[in-house]
Structure 1
């Protein structure tokens, strides 16, 4: 049932994005009286699952869920229908339209993707606000594991800046560090700047960045499980654990290893409750889970927005997501980081879906993926929208269109590039699945 939920969520998100992207091409094409021969969700290689012709356009659903397309008459595209191009141009064909109209048709898809993300982010900010952890609220700095240490970080560091830009949000600093070149921290009262090594980034990507850095906090209890040993021992929300087995502790990261080391035994805790120290005896289970959760609410801040305020905030969010995705390419194409091995295809994306239906994740992921599709499609690679835009801009600047032979060869080159990238992505997905059984 969990896998079914993940697959359904993924297919619905992709279907909405593909249909809206292709509508971005379809609507201006119809507006400029250009014939659209096909409008397909997913690819109909050899056959389609459903199809129906309405007017001059065949609408259908293919069986290969890797995108979709509209086939516009008189255009050299991935269908490589060169026979039509040998005929005399007709007034309803793409090639007969002015260059500015063709440009609008070609950028329609990425435009829709961008505006969709903007609308979703604005709606989410209006309804939910923007919750984050301000860096200035981390009075005790950060906690890092062995991978964080390979990046040069140390537990207790306070992040000041990444690549010279002030780190105002802890949430953003995580990604900025992976994509950045140098970090500036406050370490024991001293300002220290050091480079972020490719070797350290490689370790982060190999573990997919899990928990290499988190925030440091006092061992103050935010929740006690109803059927936990912590409740049986009398621990309460708001208690601060300041000692374990006769040893003083100050932070949550000092508590966890001591509890794990005491697994299967009784351990004496010293807590601070209402300003007074009290002793508590705790029976630690074999698995080391005692049923308490960190009190982190005082670290988080939520900015709320009015309807009008959410619109520019949603735009800024969209631009930031787009900027971060552009920055990722520098890391992905750096072979020393090994980041290209973590690029995910459909299998990997399905695994990212939550095990139960989550509407906030649904819309957040759709907005992020919509920006990603806009960015990928506008890349100047033949066979992508950006490739067509590149040739159109050349025509508008030079005053003469590229020859059909150039366009055909460009499509072939672009197709080879895309298929090679797809092979790498699917290869990563399959290899990651195989590794689990080795």
Structure 2
């Protein structure tokens, strides 16, 4: 009887998830089509700015803020419980080591691909100088703000030390995700090592926080179709295809590099390391695709990725929670690729010939940047400014690509999120099924 009820609940959850995916897809297409119609049908109309400023813009931001409000408690509770559920240090070491090796290896592959493509196709060599001057003038203020943020960012040993928070509440308030993750990992290890009735009660309470946060996120996600419509309407109504066409060489190279990683590297990894059908995998992760593309934020998509990992991919909860929460900040292949392509593109544009040694330095910094970049919209731009300054390329060159960054941010975030799900699938393949089950997160 109980089994039949569970099957009915699972069927209803699946039907609800399927309806949500369709509504998100409809919102995506409707926003794109209506936005393009407005851009080309009423160019320069004052009411378009009014709608994007006072209606669609705020609605999209409220949706993102609701998700960001819940992401820190979700990340902390999921990571603490994920580590504590490992049961012993040996299991944590195994999963952690697999995740670390996978992340470094795949990030290296992604950056090598991006540097190879941008060096082969040379998109920066063919930009029209007059167009470049106008684009840089338009983006001058934004580029200066990004360069200032990059100057304020910690680098070198300071960045390493900053991973260990001196005040966890201050780190949460500053949205310092790496520091919060370090605390959650450390606390989870402590919870795993101390096995008493009181710590079991504490673990149960933290699991309760996770379940409550997932339930609240489930309610927020119901607004996703409206938010997706707003995001796509704003993008299409304000920019259309004009800017993307004008920087088509740069955009094309970025998309080609991302596509090689998504549709060649990931399927090979899935098939060889996890024995998973790539076609089935991509079909099961459709919801994460749409959410990542619309929000351009790995952190905002984390709740959806966790639900997809449990409901669609049927991955072990303890592994999925660990890998996906770590991966939202530390396994950003798309971000690393974008940083590599952008740095070489701007070096080509300014006529600066980077040596092999300099490009290796760029590659290493991009790999580290992909690990430490904030999983929020445009989080990689300050990192790019730092890399540009380190290799002698003017950081204000970022102004050249600011207009198309939102679209490319959506694309690279999609790769980041799908890459996290691929990582979770690969790491889960090495975990014995008997020890893999955990409590299902509520939907």
TM-score bucket of the superposed structures, by smaller chain: under 0.3
Determine which structure has the larger strand proportion and give its number: 1
Larger Rg: 1
| TM superposition score normalised by structure 2 | 0.24
Determine which structure has the larger helix proportion and give its number: 2
Choose between structure 1 and 2 for higher RCO, CA contacts under 8 A separated by at least 6 residues. Answer: 2
